[in-house]
Structure 1
Amino acid sequence: MITGVSSGFGHEMTQQLLERGDTVIGTVRNTDKVHDLIDSYPDTFDCRLLDVTDVPVLQNTVREAFERHGRIDVVVSNAGYGLFGCAEELSDAEIDHIIATNLLGSIQFIKTSLPYLRAQGGGRIIQMSTYGAQVAYPANSMYHATKFGIEGFCEAVAQEVAQFNIGVTMVEPGGARTEFRYGSAKVANLMPEYESSHGFLTMLDASRGLAPGDPKRMAECIIASADQDPAPLRVVLGSQALSATIERLETRLADFRTQTELAASTDF
């Protein structure tokens, strides 16, 4: 079961899984972009209408999917989008919506799936994240907030449900040639005062150069991770993503190590 399969990694994963003969329950907000899959795989593509911000509908959709199919081996929390703009440029509505979608929607989808996965004796949860859950850039504050947040949730949940044979994996891709950058990204009402932080506009402009990540290869790796035992907690995709993550974590670790005496000084 995969949320948000109308484009990007969700669509690519769904297509690959259907081509190899798997059954996919895929959620979309509208069916405009998945008519090809509906027509080509009438028996194995179970398409459901869902906006993950509507929690009661989300809960009913998960329940109906497990009741109809009996067992779902892998649930993939994929629905989400990027919001670009400095903190002062963001409206309250934009902040509320990205939290409701990327963070709360993912939390509710995973939480609702847990009793069914536990009852069937195990399964796999895959949370689509980003290397931006480790590395923060200007004009991405709310996107980073949702991804840092969902990774904290997933890391804790992974420890809670390991006893039930449920594995949890967070996938951290770098830039890829998907609609995340070139179609679905939302941009705040930009202010000239923050022009120096608007470098993301170049990234969103396909005519200025495309992202290095191949969505097809990335989707193959995500699918393959579902069969790894034990489940990898994190999977980083993209050489730039990995190098940036390592660099940022090493910087953070070095800073922590300078605080040994300060930290100890506060103990009784």
Structure 2
Amino acid sequence: MEKVWFITGSSRGLGRSLTEAVLASGDKVAATARNISQLDGLVAKYGEQLLPVQLDVTDYSRVYDAVAEAVAHFGKIDVLVNNAGFGITGATEAFTDEQVRSQLETNLYAVIEVTRAVLPYMRKQRSGRIMQVSSIGGRMGTAGVSIYQAAKFGVSGFSESLAQEVKELGIFVTSVEPGGFRTDWAGDSMTYAPRIEGYDLVNSRADFFKGGSFVPVGDPDKAAKAMVDLANHAEPPVHLILGSEAIRMLANMEELREKEKQQWMAVSLSTDHTDNEGDFFNSEFTKSYLNR
């Protein structure tokens, strides 16, 4: 059955690859971009399959108008993809207040707001797919991208909680968590904090990105195909990792976390109240979290 997609950040990078893949599959797309003239070539090729929608995702009042515009045009939204975002590198203390705010406003708050704008329509139609483009950096921390990853951790956690809320409404939520892909994430889409002496690891990472040496293994066209297939899957995952680099990085981090957990287990368990000792899995608090 033909689907209607609402994709943010559709003019470049993964968003562009996904928009093209969705259109090629025969589905329709409300494609948002700050500069919709960048979509002219796709409009010429696909005509009424594509609705360009001007949107800066940090203009939260405009978000609701853009969603309403898409529904008025196509009659529904079946798949929401929150893809708009950008990277930033630097030492945590070096970021300006504006850099911190812009990261959170674009990469986290906008994801939440666009989702909130679309949910009433999906709730009424009792169906929908939501894909939040997070990052492997939403599952593990890396020096030099702390503010970016703070936002992406938020997206991954938000998506996991939301998935439990809306499943009974026929809505499925997936946090898409790519590793490095050959987009302009480390190119034109990357910004930098002012350089501070002493942060050798962070500064070398910034130099690595700036020097153009970052050549990831991920193919955005293949990621787009995986996401198109995901929209048709009967039981989509809550977390979908994309790329072999991301798989290896996460496996290594999980091993380190498990080792740390075991090393400090005695301290963790020592903090229970004596009234509940030995009764962990029967507590109402635990039942509420395990009952998914």
SS in 2 for 1:125: strand
Quote how far apart the aligned CAs of 1:201 are: 3.0
Quote how far apart the aligned CAs of 1:260 are: 2.5
The structure having more radius of gyration, on CA atoms, is 2
Alpha-carbon distance in 2 for matches of 1:119, 1:246: 39
Please tell me whether the aligned partners of residues 186 and 214 of structure 2 are also in contact (alpha carbons under 8 angstroms).
no
Amino acid at match of 1:45: L
Residue 94 of structure 1, aligned match among 87, 96, 99: 99
Structure 2 unaligned blocks of 5 or more: 1-5, 274-292
Residue 55 of structure 1, aligned match among 42, 57, 60: 60
Task: Give the 5 Å matches for 1:96-245.
Answer: 96-205=101-210, 207-208=212-213, 210-245=215-250
Give the alignment's TM-score, normalised by structure 2. 0.88
SS in 2 for 1:26: strand
Amino acid at match of 1:44: Q
Structure 1 range deviating more: 74-83 or 180-189 = 180-189
What is the root-mean-square deviation in Å for CA atoms of aligned residues? Answer: 1.4
Quote how far apart the aligned CAs of 1:71 are: 1.9
Structure 1 unaligned blocks of 5 or more: none
Alpha-carbon distance change, 61 to 179 in structure 1, aligned in 2, over 3 angstroms: same
Quote how far apart the aligned CAs of 1:258 are: 2.5
Alpha-carbon distance in 2 for matches of 1:137, 1:219: 25
SS in 2 for 1:34: helix
Alpha-carbon distance in 2 for matches of 1:140, 1:55: 25
Alpha-carbon distance in 2 for matches of 1:20, 1:260: 50
Residue 74 of structure 1, aligned match among 75, 79, 82: 79
Query: Between the two proteins, what is the percent identity of the paired residues?
Result: 34
Please tell me whether the aligned partners of residues 177 and 215 of structure 1 are also in contact (alpha carbons under 8 angstroms).
yes
Alpha-carbon distance in 2 for matches of 1:123, 1:73: 5
Structure 1 residues 168-202: Cα deviation after superposition (integer angstroms, max 9, x where no partner): 01111111110112221111121233233223235
In the alignment of these two chains, the number of paired residues is 268
Q: Which residue of 2 aligns with 1:253?
A: 258
Structure 1 range deviating more: 195-204 or 218-227 = 195-204
Q: Which residue of 1 aligns with 2:30?
A: 25
Alpha-carbon distance change, 254 to 12 in structure 1, aligned in 2, over 3 angstroms: same
Alpha-carbon distance in 2 for matches of 1:11, 1:242: 24
Alpha-carbon distance in 2 for matches of 1:37, 1:15: 8
